[in-house]
Amino acid sequence: MHVGIIMDGNGRWATSRGLARLVGHKRGASRVKDIVKNSPNLGVTTLTLYAFSTENWKRAAHEVEGLMKLFRGYMQNNLLELHDKNVRVRFLGDATPLAQDIRLQMEQLSGLTKDNTGLNLNIAINYGGRDEIIRATRSIAAKVLDGTLSVDAITEGTICDHMDTREQADPDLIIRTAGELRLSNFMIWQSAYSELMFPNVSWPDFTAEVYAECLEEFAGRVRRFGNADSN
Ligand code: FPP
């Protein structure tokens, strides 16, 4: 079971309490730790977290820097524990514009955990679904140009194989916290048949109990993948 989460509402959670937005992000980071820890018990085998979008660079510089600091802290503080818990960490998105030290930490974390067989944790940083499709298209086009791929051989599978999620199943469920009813460029290729859920809590209030309730509601959904009704 693959769950994707759009962790929204940190800023509103903080400002509605008279706190700085970064306080909300900080609390959000502690939710990440808890939700990762609880995923295997709830039957989740792959968890994809949307941590920073290609559009998030437009935020105030101090908020972007604060988020980068949280990513550094998360990777530093959780590297050994994630490995110890058999979690395999991968990153989705274009790492190129990220600071060198963050890229090194990302490589270290994904390298250290690459043979782990427990939870698959994907962290999407500087990720956008459209950007991912552009990057995939470029690498497919390059193969066509150099003659290693013919145009007629391009299938749905070819596209999947060039996405950041290659070799991974599509998300069964996508959860977006804090009430907005949209995907905002998250896994737009992979979400074709995903169930969507919009719990009415901000990410800093997304506890393991709320997570378990979402999975329980998901278990009651009937998925047809485009087939006719088969009750
Ligand atoms: C959206 O809330 C949240 C983000 C842009 C950042 C998500 C980051 C974290 C939860 C922190 C750390 C993550 C990791 C992986 C360690 P928002 O700021 O858009 O909230 P708003 O819509 O209320 O303003």
Contact indicator for 35, 47 with CB cutoff of 8 Å: yes
Q: Which residues contact 61 (CB under 8 A, 6 or more apart)?
A: none
| Ligand 1 binding pocket includes 191 (Cβ within 6 Å) | no
Distance 106 CA to ligand 1 centre (A): 19
Contact indicator for 24, 177 with CB cutoff of 8 Å: no
Q: In the prediction, which pLDDT does 228 show? A: 77
CATH number of 2-217: 3.40.1180.10
Distance CA 192, CA 55 (A): 22
| Count of CB atoms situated within 10 Å of the CB of 103 | 15
Contact indicator for 219, 42 with CB cutoff of 8 Å: no
Q: Is the pLDDT of residue 122 over 70?
A: yes
Contact indicator for 102, 64 with CB cutoff of 8 Å: no
The domain segmentation of the chain, as residue ranges, is 2-217
At 196-208, the pLDDT tens digits run 999 999 999 999 9
Q: Is the pLDDT of residue 229 over 80?
A: no
User: What is the pTM (predicted TM-score) of this model?
Assistant: 0.97
At 47-96, the pLDDT tens digits run 999 999 999 999 999 999 999 999 999 999 999 999 999 999 999 999 99
Question: Which of 22, 25, 30 is the pocket-test mutation for ligand 1 (most atoms within 8 Å of CB)?
Answer: 25
